[in-house]
Amino acid sequence: MVKKIAVINDLSGFGNCSLTVALPIISALGLECIPVPTAILSNQTGYDDFYSVDFTEHLTPFIDVWKKQNIKFDAILTGYLASEKQVALILDFIEHFGKDSLVFVDPVMADDGVLYDTYNESLCERVKLLTKKANIITPNLTELCILCGTDYNEISKEENYDKIEGLAYSLLSDTTKTVIVTGIKQKGKITNMFVQKDQIGTVNQKLLKGSFSGTGDIFSSIVCGGITKGMDVLDAISLATNFIYCSIMDTPTTLDYEPNGVNFQKHLEMLINEKKGITIQKNIYRHI
């Protein structure tokens, strides 16, 4: 049986992000990706202009059909949300379909210290609530600071691995067993760190110039797909890190922020073959 992952995220025409990357990536990993659209957009919201159709009102009928059909998912992955109301529906989705499945919440809210255009404080509060129901969460450094009520500028200005570790550790619970912090940028390298109750590990890669739409969604899709199919956390993180590295290398841009994201398509073969990185330094660096 092919394992099934429900991905609750938006469908953006331009931006190489959200469902547009989750569908090919999870498929390339050999799993079935079932899209649950939270919104449909012409472009992701980082462009100067975009048109968005909120899909909230259609979520309940989607869920009702699947409840009747007694559908089961091996994992659930949530990403970009279009309204506060959606959180209650997603909580119901997790309650109903998540009992025997792995629940991944990517608390999409912000990047590089700045909230996304369509997010505000009260939506962030709802996202916080959602993370409490997850087994694995994948905040970037900005989102980690929001979840913990910490100042991003303080944390990001110097080597603060110990503090970041402590913040991630504070989010662990009986439900949330793994926190993966992405995009820690220090001194020419980028680190993705995972924190569990008894171990902490990092994957380091050379920091490339620029900031790209959708890399968080690529990361969460690979980690979710990889772990669901049985990879260990460190291997899934290193596959994701290396895939993103190769995709950025293949994305010529002169912009500080590239709204169309990365050219990931021709690297999908890495996921089909689970080709691990060669330039990555990865380690479990502490057993607690």
Question: Please, which residue, 202 or 260, has the CB nearer to ligand PXL?
Answer: 260
Looking at 116, 152, 161, 169, which residue binds ligand PXL (CB under 6 A)? 116
Segment holding 80, helix H or strand E = none
- The two tokens of residue 6 are 């429900």
The answer to whether 277 and 242 are in contact (CB under 8 A) is yes
3-state secondary structure (DSSP) of residue 234 = helix
199-206 and 281-287: which strand pairing?
Answer: antiparallel
The span from the CA of 201 to the CA of 180, in Å, is 9
| 35 is an interface residue for ligand PXL by CB under 6 A | no
| 140 is an interface residue for ligand PXL by CB under 6 A | no
The piece of 27-35, 44-52, 125-133, 222-230 that touches ligand PXL (CB under 6 A) is 44-52
How big is the site for ligand PXL, counted in residues (CB under 6 A)?
A: 15
The span from the CA of 83 to the CA of 73, in Å, is 24
| 139 is an interface residue for ligand PXL by CB under 6 A | no
The answer to whether 212 and 258 are in contact (CB under 8 A) is yes
| 217 is an interface residue for ligand PXL by CB under 6 A | yes
CB of 12 to ligand PXL, least distance (A): 5
Looking at 6, 94, 105, 108, which residue binds ligand PXL (CB under 6 A)? 108
Looking at 6, 22, 23, 44, which residue binds ligand PXL (CB under 6 A)? 44
Question: Please, which residue, 116 or 169, has the CB nearer to ligand PXL?
Answer: 116
Question: Please, which residue, 10 or 165, has the CB nearer to ligand PXL?
Answer: 10
Looking at 5, 17, 28, 33, which residue binds ligand PXL (CB under 6 A)? 17
Rounded to 5 degrees, φ, ψ at 14 are -110, 145
| 202 is an interface residue for ligand PXL by CB under 6 A | no
| 123 is an interface residue for ligand PXL by CB under 6 A | no
Question: Please, which residue, 82 or 200, has the CB nearer to ligand PXL?
Answer: 82
CB of 128 to ligand PXL, least distance (A): 17
| 264 is an interface residue for ligand PXL by CB under 6 A | no
C-alpha 31: how far from chain center: 17
- The two tokens of residue 267 are 């690297």
Closest CA to 272 of 85, 28, 2, 36: 28
Amino acid at 52: S
Looking at 201, 214, 225, 277, which residue binds ligand PXL (CB under 6 A)? 214
The span from the CA of 96 to the CA of 65, in Å, is 13
Looking at 80, 93, 212, 243, which residue binds ligand PXL (CB under 6 A)? 80
| 12 is an interface residue for ligand PXL by CB under 6 A | yes
Angstrom CA distances, 138 to 19, 71, 179, stand at 16, 26, 6
Q: CB-based contacts of 154: which residues, under 8 Å, 6+ apart?
A: none
| 216 is an interface residue for ligand PXL by CB under 6 A | yes
Question: Please, which residue, 186 or 211, has the CB nearer to ligand PXL?
Answer: 211
Segment holding 186, helix H or strand E = strand 178-186
Segment holding 150, helix H or strand E = none
Question: Please, which residue, 90 or 200, has the CB nearer to ligand PXL?
Answer: 90
Contact positions toward ligand PXL, by CB under 6 A? 10, 12, 17-18, 41, 44-46, 80, 108, 116, 213-214, 216-217
